[in-house]
Chains A and B, each alone.
Chain A
Amino acid sequence: MKFAVVVFPGSNCDVDCYYAVKYGLNQEVEYVWHQEKDLSKYDVIMLPGGFSYGDYLRAGAIARFSPIMEAVKEAAEKGKYVIGICNGFQILTEAGLLPGTLRKNEGLKFICKTVSIIVENDKTPFTTRLKKGQEISLPIAHGEGNYYVDGQTLEDMKKNDQIVFRYKENVNGSVERIAGVINKEGNVLGMMPHPERAYEPLLGNTDGLYILGSIVDNFIKGGVN
């Protein structure tokens, strides 16, 4: 299987994603510049963390209009796995591929630390190596990770089991401690924590492989039952 790591001007976790896929998962991976228009040869699309376009206007607002985003939408519609991490999550919400939006952290500060995450939905192609209620540790590093969604949409999301991860402690003020969500169809995941920064013992944490490894398992199996 082949992964694409989309590189926007200002992405800074693209190399982490690349290494996590290549050395953590032993899978093929290529960088794809945001001005490209074709993602047809890739099976999984990763939108990495960083500060696309300097986060000017709003995080993810300008990147969402990069030419590659049409191809990301197409890939999502075809059912390919799409994962947006941190700034990638912000871009996916701006693009309307995921519900809600990310506001400035409630505590006014940029937060960079390892936090506990609780798995809410273990039936997604990104979480089959996990169990509902399981607690894992992942690094976060964001100034705008405060997830917001209106009440009605939140109810719909709960009905569709779209909340995938919650923070154990509400580090940034997110509605219901939400740390990661999935689309209704179940193939587009957005999350603020960084699994790609936790893929080998040298990094002091391998919990990210629960998530990245699930993608590989499910691709090989041909989908989640």
Chain B
Amino acid sequence: MVVAKVYITLKKGILDPQGKAVKGALHSMGYEGVKDVRVGKYIELTFEDGDLSLLEQKVDEMCKKILTNPIIEDYTFEIGEG
């Protein structure tokens, strides 16, 4: 099996209310050192074994088409044995 791990983050400068709320909670718990929190998404895609370079292209396409919103989100992914 091959697994693609996709990490989605909000672009720099895009407000992240969820991150803001988590930061507030951490501060109220005493973790004052936390300067900023950004919450992202992790998506795991599992494939049958196949041509890895072809898969790379496909996962990139999926990220662009549906998994992310390119207006506000960035993404990275890694592909490896599952």
Residues in chain A within 8 A of chain B (CB atoms): 57-58, 61-62, 65, 94, 100-101, 103-108, 146, 148-150, 173
In the bound complex, do residue A148 and residue B71 qualify as a contact, i.e. CB atoms below 8 Å apart? Answer: yes
In the bound complex, do residue B69 and residue A61 qualify as a contact, i.e. CB atoms below 8 Å apart? Answer: yes
With A58-B69, A101-B71, A150-B71 as contacts: A108 and B20 at CB distance below 8 Å: yes
With A101-B72, A148-B72 as contacts: A106 and B67 at CB distance below 8 Å: no
Q: How far is the CA of A65 from the CA of B66 in the complex (A)?
A: 9
In the bound complex, do residue A104 and residue B71 qualify as a contact, i.e. CB atoms below 8 Å apart? Answer: no
Residues of A within 8 A of B46 (CB): none
In the bound complex, do residue A104 and residue B66 qualify as a contact, i.e. CB atoms below 8 Å apart? Answer: no
11 additional contacts, CB 8 Å, given A61-B69, A107-B17? A62-B66, A65-B66, A100-B71, A101-B71, A103-B14, A103-B15, A104-B18, A146-B15, A148-B14, A148-B71, A173-B15
Residues of A within 8 A of B18 (CB): 104, 108
Residues in chain B within 8 A of chain A (CB atoms): 14-15, 17-18, 20-21, 66-67, 69, 71-72
Q: How far is the CA of A104 from the CA of B69 in the complex (A)?
A: 13
Q: How far is the CA of A93 from the CA of B28 in the complex (A)?
A: 37
Q: How far is the CA of A61 from the CA of B63 in the complex (A)?
A: 12
Q: How far is the CA of A80 from the CA of B82 in the complex (A)?
A: 49
In the bound complex, do residue A57 and residue B66 qualify as a contact, i.e. CB atoms below 8 Å apart? Answer: yes
When C-beta atoms are compared, the residue in chain A nearest to B41 turns out to be A57
Residues of A within 8 A of B71 (CB): 100-101, 148-150
8 Å CB contact of A108 from B14, B17, B66, B67: B17
When C-beta atoms are compared, the residue in chain A nearest to B65 turns out to be A65
B69 to A: closest C-beta gap in Å:
6
12 chain-A/chain-B pairs, Cβ below 8 angstroms: A57-B67, A58-B69, A61-B66, A62-B66, A103-B14, A103-B15, A103-B17, A105-B17, A107-B17, A108-B20, A148-B14, A148-B71
Residues of A within 8 A of B69 (CB): 58, 61, 94, 101
Q: How far is the CA of A105 from the CA of B15 in the complex (A)?
A: 9
